[in-house]
Structure 1
Amino acid sequence: MAHNSGQTAQLDTERLDIPQFRDEIGQISSDWVDQIVDLIAIEDAEEVKVFMEPLHASDVGDVLEVLSSSDRLGLIMLLGEAFDYSALTEVEDAIRLELMHILPNAEIAKGVHELDSDDAVYILEDIEGADQADILSKLPTFERLALRRSLDFPDDTAGRRMQTEFIAIPPFWTIGQTIDYMRDSTDLPDDFYQIYVVDPSYNLLGTLALDRMLRAKRPETIEAIMNNSVINVAAEEDQEEAAHLFERYDLVELAVVDESRRMVGVLTIDDIVDVIQEEAGEDIKRLAGVGDEEVSDNVWDALRSRVTWLMVNLVTAVLASMVIGMFDATISQMVALAVLMPIVASMGGNAGTQAMTVTVRALSTKQLDRFNIRRLITREILVGALNGGIFAVIIGIVATVWFGNFLLGGVIAVAMVVNMFAAGVSGILIPLALDRVNIDPAIASTAFVTTVTDVVGFFAFLSLAALAFGLF
């Protein structure tokens, strides 16, 4: 788009040529980004609004992530009241925190005032105490108290994730009264899927799905047609447990209750999808020992998240090297051992990681109980032993042909069976043991499993070789 002498051209939406936002592979178009950056540079607020107006909040979040720090702030300031603060729930934590640090508290207060309470809490929870208090003080009293209550719940709990806007009615109302109430009310939630039936103390008595309500006659009472089998979650419960309830009972909305069993909010499926993605992502990162690292993190943050477990791996590697050192004389007499021994340890490490991943995933999704845990242990041990037998034959033949030594092939074959069996056992028992003592198996399992397979692999191969060839 051309601009003459650095001045903003008069907006003409009929003639405005806006490039396609996403290209054929779903990525944000570079032409689109180039034009929005140019508009931000010349502070053309009207055309910026035209570019951004068709975009969903999640798309706006994507835009913020591809822009530079200065352009992000410029975009938000140019959009003014047209900026939807729910877009900040779609960006990575580092970017959101950076923007929260730069934006004036008064602007943040105006933005979160327009959001559902769950989105407002998501934005406010990472803001430091003094600034958070200042922002809350600028909100209406009822909204401030509701947000304060949600923020008082621990991180990653149902209470922190819940939305405090919901529809609660008494059981003696009729369908007609309920419909009239919702038609006349001006503060209904933007999206809701069911109505909650409560007593005067807000104790949850039942629920009424919208489809069932619309099929009922106006004179029918709520109590006569409501669902009495109420599923709810405690506000202090971990968000992952709430996600399991959604999965188990195929829910789209779930009531949240406090310690007195009074209803305080609801969890909706859109938030739970985010929880599931977040928890799955955390497990994957923890298995790799990278903590809470994100793409937008700087070098120092990435270094800090990785160095701890690299240090643990260094200790375990030294332990494995000490085992090798015990057989230095053996290795010096037969160089082929140095060539072959990494194969045994590597195969055992991979097999152990496979068993460990299956176990950690089963633990995180609550698939393991006293009825099937013995079956899983037996299966993984048998799989380890059978894999050991298969690859023992293969590596035994390879070693025999490679070095022309049948006895050497037999030694590595036996070592392979031993290490693969150890991998299967450690891959399942170590995560189970860590979970039993309340240590997250996703974080700690990898270091322990690889240590076991390295030590067992090296020791089995080198000790068997020393016995077979008399290399002491």
Structure 2
Amino acid sequence: MAETDLHEHDAEAAQQGEGEQFDEENRLKPEFVRQVRESLNDDNEESTYDLVEPLHPADIADLFELLEREDRRELAAAITDLMSSEVVAELNDYVREDMLEDLPPEAVAEIVGQLDTDDAVQLIEDLDEGDQRAILAEVEAEDRAVIETALAYPEETAGRLMQRELIAVPDSMTVGDLIDYLRSEENLTTEFWEVFVVDHRFHPLGTCQLSWILRTPRSVKITDVMKRDQTLIPVGMDQEEVALRFQKYALISAAVVDENGRLVGQLTVDDIVHIISEEAGEDALLMSGAGEGDINEPLRDAYSARVRWLVANLGTAVVASAIIAWFGAAIEQLVALAVLMPIVASIGGNAGTQTMAVTVRAIAMNQLTKSNTRRLVLRELKVALMNGATIAVLIGLATAAIFTPQLGGVIAAAMVINIIVSGMAGVLVPVAFERLDQDPAVASSVFVTMITDSMGFFAFLGLAVASGLVSM
């Protein structure tokens, strides 16, 4: 079947099955998933195949993630010829790793051989070293060398993520030479956006989009039509910085160069979309101490990732409790203090979390640097003063009406102090982690919570004692 016919078939199948298999948000319906599960339980492989066959590879990957582990293996056996490299590449990391463990090395090697370099590396990078060696031993020598080179780069760097499949031509070519080369060379990659022009040392000189090549006379030199300004990505650059470069310069693809400036690969925007999504979710989860937060993550890994931060939170909570105990006699004299203390700490905590989220995002987006840290601190101080004044008036008037005007003044003053301190903590704690070359999203919330709770209790109870409302 011709490639055009295949695309038309896929489109028709998707349209026919959309009403039966997908809801209005393009998610697989529970009823459809239940049908597949029942078909598997009845050992009816033909029915299972008919249900799954119309799905796009990405939707088949979603289906695997919605099934239990035992059902996944049965589904894979029932739809063997539908288990294309595209399906495997779209699978959740944990689901893919679990399924690959059940396949012989030669079967995994066959899948690897069908993938682009970046997808092949992603497929096997999380496997045990022994499993990696067994799989690579079954891969063709040329592909094996490329994958091993990519695996030698640190995780989450451009060298690990890049594709080796690209089109690079010498600067001596004309447009006609390039077109003839693209038509006659059978071993070139079939999917590319632009052609890289290199010198004799394989240093990138510029890029030529396919649209320019098609619209330019054959006699024109490629160097006269190429774009010389380009964003070069070092192999060791962190993936988060790579994503920022793509976003800042609106890139579709970019050349990756080694330490000597030689072209060794390329990154494309489809890879960057995954990175941006991954980094955004990772930062949000790290701020909450939830680890990777993947629902397919093994229980032991989820437990170990979360419990250590809960233990840390326990330690910071002890600090706040010690402050309360220090003012125990004062609280006994006026029960209203115990009633109002959680309000001060809670509002301060929310204010600190808001500022911390803004700061962590600014750091991740390269909006916050050493040159403008002072400006951000002053900005957040002004915001904290305005927020503190607003909340102080509201809580002060309510407390004065319910209890006493003196207690209303105390809680209003404590609220202003705590919100200001919380705002400053929300900025300075992530900045301090970033200056120490630590991920500011990892532990900022633990320390900000400790500061806001402790300062909230200390400010409120301390002011109550200092005003003569109660005594120690």
* Structure 1 length-normalised TM: 0.92
Cα pair 2:97 2:127 within 8 Å, conserved? yes
Could you tell me which amino acid in structure 2 is paired with residue 416 of structure 1? M
Task: Summarize deviations over 1:120-179 as a string: whole Å, max 9, x none.
Answer: 111011111121111111111111111111111111111111111000100111111111
Counterpart of 1:450 in structure 2: which amino acid? T
Other structure's SS at 2:233 match: strand
Please give the secondary structure, in 1, of the residue aligned with 2:401: helix
Partner of 1:3: none
8 Å contact 1:345–1:453 — kept in the other structure?
Answer: yes
SS of equivalent residue, structure 1 residue 102 = coil
1:334 matched to 2:334? The reply is yes
Structure 1 partner of 2:454: 455
Secondary structure at the counterpart of residue 220 of structure 2? coil
* One-letter amino acid of the counterpart of residue 136, structure 2: L
**Contact 2:158 2:238 (8 Å CA) reproduced:** yes
Secondary structure in structure 2 of the residue aligned to 1:251: coil
How many Å apart are 1:436 and its aligned residue?
Answer: 0.7
Contact 1:165 / 1:265 at 8 angstroms: preserved in 2? yes
Residue 249 of structure 1 is matched in structure 2 by 249
Question: In the aligned structure 1, how far is the partner of 2:329 from the partner of 2:242?
Answer: 58
CA drift of 1:401 comes to: 1.2
Distance 2:142 2:381 in 1: 58
SS in 1 for 2:21: coil
Aligned residue number for residue 9 of structure 1: none
Number of the residue aligned with 1:8: none
Aligned residue in 1 for 2:410: 411
Cα contact 1:43–1:78 (8 A) shared by 2: no
- Please tell me the root mean square deviation across aligned C-alpha atoms, in Å: 2.0
Does the 8 A contact of 2:118 with 2:161 survive in 1?
yes
Deviates more, 1:196-205 or 1:368-377: 368-377
In structure 2, the residue matched to 1:295 is 295
Shift of 1:38: 4.5
Equivalent residue runs for 1:120-269 within 5 Å? 120-269=120-269
CA distance in 2, matches of 1:88, 1:382: 51
Return the letter of the residue paired with 2:70.
S
In 1, the alpha carbon distance for the partners of 2:154 and 2:298 equals: 27
* Deviates further, 85-94 or 434-443: 85-94
| 1:346-404 Cα shifts (integer Å, max 9, x gaps) | 1111101111110000000101134533222111001111111111111111111111x
Moved more, 374-383 or 77-86: 77-86
Deviation of 1:77 after TM superposition, in Å, equals 2.7
CA distance in 2, matches of 1:218, 1:48: 53
- Say whether the 8 Å CA contact 1:19–1:32 is kept in structure 2: no
Counterpart of 2:422 in structure 1 is 423
Contact between 1:19 and 1:31, CA under 8 Å: does it hold in 2? Answer: no
Distance 1:181 1:41 in 2: 54
* Match runs of 1:79-90 below 5 Å: 79-90=79-90
Deviations 1:383-437 (A, max 9, x none): 111111111111111111111x111111111111111111111111111111111
The answer as to whether partners of 1:411 and 1:464 remain within 8 angstroms in 2 is: yes
**Whole-angstrom distance in 1 between the partners of 2:274 and 2:266:** 15
1:436–1:218 Cα change, 3 Å: same
Q: Secondary structure at the match of 2:79?
A: helix
- Superposition deviation, residue 27 in structure 1: 2.5
CA–CA distance in 1 between the matches of 2:17 and 2:132? 41
CA distance in 1, matches of 2:27, 2:166: 37
Q: Letter of the aligned partner of 1:415 in structure 2?
A: A
Q: Residue 175 of structure 1 contacts residue 222 of structure 1 at CA under 8 Å; is this kept in 2?
A: yes
Shift of 1:83: 1.4
Matched, 1:52 2:58: no
Rounded to whole Å, the distance in 2 between the matches of 1:114 and 1:51 is 25
How big is each residue's C-alpha offset from its partner over 1:4-44, in whole Å with a ceiling of 9 and x where there is no partner?
Answer: xxxxxxxxx9xx99982212343312343344334445665
Q: Is residue 17–residue 54 contact of structure 2 (8 Å, CA) maintained in 1?
A: no
Find out whether 1:372 has 2:372 as its counterpart: yes
Tell me whether 166-175 or 198-207 shows the greater mean CA deviation. Answer: 198-207
Q: Quick one: distance in 2 between partners of 1:117 and 1:97?
A: 18
Separation in 1 of the partners of 2:200 and 2:327? 77
Query: Conserved in 2, the CA contact under 8 Å of 1:65 and 1:91?
Result: yes
Pick closer, same or farther for the CA change 1:232–1:124 going to 2, 3 Å.
same
SS in 1 for 2:101: helix
| Residue in 2 that maps onto 1:398 | 398
Q: Residue 18 and residue 459 in structure 1: after superposition, are their counterparts in 2 closer, same or farther (change >3 A)?
A: closer
Which stretch of structure 1 is more off in the superposition, 65-74 or 274-283?
Answer: 65-74
Q: Is the 8 A contact 2:231 2:255 kept in 1?
A: yes
Q: Give deviations 1:314-372, integer Å, cap 9, x for gaps.
A: 10000011111111111111111111111111111110111111000000010113453
Cα–Cα, structure 1 residues 218 and 46, in superposed 2: closer, same or farther, change >3 Å? farther
Q: Identify the range of structure 1 (28-37 vs 118-127) with the bigger mean alpha-carbon deviation.
A: 28-37
Equivalent pair of 2:333/2:470 in contact (CA under 8 Å): no
Q: Percent identity?
A: 42
1:324–1:458 Cα contact (<8 Å) kept: yes
Are 1:285 and 2:289 matched, yes or no? no
Native 8 Å contact 1:92 1:294 kept in 2:
no
Q: Deviations along 1:277-304, whole A, 9 cap, x unmatched?
A: 0000100001111111211224333221
CA distance in structure 1 between the partners assigned to 2:27 and 2:56 by the alignment:
15
Unpaired segments ≥5 residues, structure 1: 1-12
Does the aligned pair in 2 maintain the 1:293–1:301 contact within 8 Å?
A: no
- On the 8 A contact 2:97/2:126 being kept in 1, the answer is yes
Deviation (angstroms), 1:439: 1.5
Aligned length: 457
Structure 1 counterpart of 2:335, one-letter code: V
Task: Please say if residues 355 and 427 of structure 1, whose CA atoms lie closer than 8 Å, have aligned partners that are also in contact.
Answer: yes
Structure 2: distance between partners of 1:81 and 1:455? 61
Hey, what does 1:382 align to over in structure 2?
382
- More displaced 10-residue stretch of structure 1: 37-46 or 366-375: 37-46
Deviation string 1:26-85 (CA, Å, 9 cap, x unpaired) is 331234334433444566555544443432221111011112222222222333343112
